[in-house]
Amino acid sequence: MGFPSKPLFYILHLPPIFLFLLLLFSTNPTQSAPDYTSLVYKGCSKEAFQDPTGLYSQALSALFGTLVQQSTKSKFFKTTTGTGQTTITGLFQCRGDLSIGDCYKCVSGLPVLTDKMCGKAIAARVQLFGCYILYEVAGFTQVSGMEMLFKTCGRSTAAGSGFEERRDTALSVLANGVASGHGFFTTSYQSMYVLGQCEGDIGDSDCGECAKSAVQRAQVECGNAISGQIYLHKCFISYSYYPNGVPRRSSSSYGNEGN
């Protein structure tokens, strides 16, 4: 994400993605669809910053304050605070189908939640159903935008009745739509509801490639599960199958099923 190439923190023994995956946490899926402030997962670096002067804490607090403030008028914002070794880059993003008001409500709780879950980690990401927040101290080793951070597949499965064909067609439409939709796309197709979003600072071409990679992961990882969510570093997708037709309800609850 644009950090200096010479790391200020040396991370030994483990590949960078393990820093996120080792402490991955997810809520247990429930029968009812969680709201947009429900926790999906957290990823915290194993390395904590040393802060005898409080400069890191001040920079992180300033970053969080800016991100929350910006969520009152935007669904994506990326910025940097601090100087030198205390430089911290962070961003938030809300799901494209949330209102600005709901975006703010989602983001405003993330600083406290991130501090509670990750403490003084030099990098952290906390993902809710409706939004996420991410920060990295200068020099943190980067992960690929295609790396899978988290997945969840529904407990129920579908067999026959053309389910696989419907799912694959819907996901193909999604992969193309999220690129042409400039980073966000949602639609329903023959009892399938699909949703996809890319990080707000990547181009349409990279977004499309990320979405296609996520679709392939969903097909392999979730098989015949009637719902699934795949979170890559730079994008995520979800799909849900409703045998009786996609229900009418608020958009913020779509794609959250764990059945």
pLDDT of residue 255 exceeding 70, the answer is no
Which has more pLDDT, 13 or 174?
Answer: 174
Mean pLDDT within 20-30: 37
The torsion angles phi and psi of 141, rounded to 5 degrees, stand at -65, 130
Mean pLDDT within 82-86: 86
Lowest mean pLDDT among 15-29, 76-90, 189-203, 231-245: 15-29
Give me the pLDDT at residue 140, please.
80
pLDDT of residue 22 exceeding 90, the answer is no
Mean pLDDT of the chain: 83
What are the pLDDT digits (tens) for 98-144? 999 999 999 999 999 999 999 999 999 999 999 999 999 988 876 66
What are the pLDDT digits (tens) for 146-182? 889 999 999 988 877 688 899 999 999 999 999 999 9
Give me the pLDDT at residue 30, please.
32
Give me the pLDDT at residue 145, please.
67
Give me the pLDDT at residue 34, please.
52
What are the pLDDT digits (tens) for 34-71? 589 999 999 999 999 888 888 999 999 999 999 999 99
**Ramachandran sector of residue 85 (left: φ over 0; alpha: ψ -120 to 50; beta: rest):** alpha
Give me the pLDDT at residue 13, please.
33
> pLDDT tier at 243 (50, 70, 90 boundaries)?
confident
